[in-house]
């Protein structure tokens, strides 16, 4: 994609800003105890979620990892519903029962939020198989990190998807570290897209810090799947600017490395590209920030004022009474 469309790129920039500010606010709220449990932030990887979603339709299915706030926002789940979920409130997208790692919204075909590494891969294969059996022309997009490539579910899922020619778009968010383990230390073949060769599956890689490059690559991959040519593995090479989680002391990578990657901040890159093309002014950028800030403030209000689940409902959907 070489042409810069003002309306489209403004929308992309706003979505990335929304994810960034949402995550920054989540970190702030976690530090004061409003959000508890584990918290995995998406800061630095915004171009992946926003770019990929441009190539997917509302009918397509989404299966995400535990670092899924960005995908959920880009999918269109309201920020208030997500913030309330992290607060544990009953008006959250999973009724407050899932928290940060288990966002779910069947109305938007967003099927998690999976805390188990690689756990979403077989779920995606199952969803795609169901669509295939029903003759529904839909794509199931499955996000997973580079660490999941070492799991058996990855190989089993790619094998079955290729064997049955299922409409699965495998999206690897390669941020170079499986928690604290560098890619080269856990993979004998660190070029993840080549893993598809063993299964006769088409694959590609894209710059995960460039939202337009991500969009273009995803459109090609999704089109391949949508046309009935079988599954596709797309590796998106990105980088998280924050630690793996709020519990991570981050002793495994150099600060200089993080600083180098921040020079390729996806928001800064798109902003500069739009400014160079004359389609983004300082006033435009200020207006976007004001709009996003208002949405974040409203999300916090929704979470703060949301109801707690009644104590008498805590066993609902957990235990079944047998006659």
**pLDDT(223) > 90:** yes
Both structure tokens of 259? 């600083």
Q: What is the pLDDT of residue 319?
A: 72
Instruction: Extract the runs of DSSP E, i.e. beta strands, from 80-224.
Output: 140-145, 168-174, 177-178, 181-182, 202-207
pLDDT of residue 316: 84
Integer Cα distance of 197 and 289 in angstroms: 44
pLDDT in tens, 69-82: 999 999 999 999 99
pLDDT higher than 50, residue 197: yes
- Closest C-alpha among 173, 209, 166, 179 to residue 65: 173
β-bridge partners, 235: 172, 205
- How many angstroms separate the CA atoms of 66 and 103, rounded? 9
**Phi and psi of 140, rounded to 5°?**
-110, 115
- How is residue 100 written in tokens? 């940060």
Name which of 199, 242, 192, 223 is nearest 23 in CA terms: 242
* Cβ atoms within 10 Å, residue 296: 20
Q: Is the peptide bond before 21 cis (omega within 30 degrees of 0)?
A: no
Q: 3-state DSSP call for residue 245?
A: coil
- How much of the chain, in percent, has pLDDT values that exceed 90? 93
What Rg do the C-alpha atoms of the chain give, in angstroms?
Answer: 19
CB neighbours of 256 closer than 8 A, spacing ≥ 6? none
Report the phi/psi class of residue 279: left, alpha or beta, with left for phi > 0 and alpha for psi in -120 to 50. alpha
**Does the structure show a pLDDT above 50 at 1?**
no
Contact 202, 260 (CB under 8 A): no
β-pair partners for 233: 170, 203
Q: What is the pLDDT of residues 164-175, one digit of tens each?
A: 999 999 999 999
Tens digit of pLDDT for each residue in 281-304? 999 999 999 999 999 999 999 999
Q: Is the pLDDT of residue 307 over 60?
A: yes
Across all residues in the chain, what is the average pLDDT?
96
Category of 239 on φ-ψ map: left (φ > 0), alpha (ψ -120 to 50) or beta:
beta
* pTM for the whole structure: 0.95
Residue 230 pLDDT > 60: yes
Going through 106-241 in order, the beta strands assigned E by DSSP cover: 140-145, 168-174, 177-178, 181-182, 202-207, 232-237
- Domains, the chain, ranges and CATH? 6-304 (3.40.50.970)
Please check whether residue 100 is in contact with residue 94, taking contact to mean a CB–CB distance below 8 angstroms. Answer: no
- pLDDT value of residue 93: 97
């Amino acid at each position: 994609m070489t042409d810069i469309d003002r309306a489209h790129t403004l929308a992309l920039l706003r979505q990335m800003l929304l994810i960034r500010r949402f995550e920054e606010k989540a970190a702030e709220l976690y530090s004061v105890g409003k959000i508890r449990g584990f918290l995995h932030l998406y800061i630095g990887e915004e171009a992946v979620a926003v770019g990929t979603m441009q190539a997917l339709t509302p009918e397509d299915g989404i299966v995400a990892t535990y670092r899924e706030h960005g995908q959920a926002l880009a999918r269109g789940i309201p920020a208030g519903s997500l913030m309330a979920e992290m607060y544990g409130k009953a008006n959250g997208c999973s009724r407050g029962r899932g928290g940060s790692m288990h966002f779910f919204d069947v109305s938007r075909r967003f099927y998690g939020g999976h805390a188990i590494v690689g756990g979403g891969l077989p779920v995606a294969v199952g969803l795609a198989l169901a669509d295939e059996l029903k003759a529904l022309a839909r794509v199931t997009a499955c996000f997973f990190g580079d660490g999941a490539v070492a799991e058996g579910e990855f190989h089993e899922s790619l094998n079955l998807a290729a064997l049955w020619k299922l409409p699965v778009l495998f999206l690897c968010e390669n941020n170079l570290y499986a928690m604290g383990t560098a890619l080269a230390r856990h993979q004998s073949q660190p070029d993840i897209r080549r893993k598809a060769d063993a299964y006769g599956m088409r694959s590609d890689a894209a710059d995960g810090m460039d939202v337009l490059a991500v969009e273009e690559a995803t459109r090609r991959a999704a089109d391949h799947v949508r046309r009935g040519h079988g599954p596709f593995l797309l590796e998106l090479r990105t980088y998280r600017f924050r630690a793996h989680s709020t519990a991570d002391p981050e002793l495994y990578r150099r600060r200089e490395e993080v600083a180098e990657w921040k020079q390729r901040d996806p928001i800064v890159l798109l902003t500069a590209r739009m400014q160079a093309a004359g389609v983004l002014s300082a006033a435009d950028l200020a207006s976007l920030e004001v709009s996003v800030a208002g949405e974040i403030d409203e999300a916090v209000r929704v979470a703060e004022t949301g109801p707690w689940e009644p104590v008498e409902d805590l066993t609902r959907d957990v235990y079944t009474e047998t006659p």
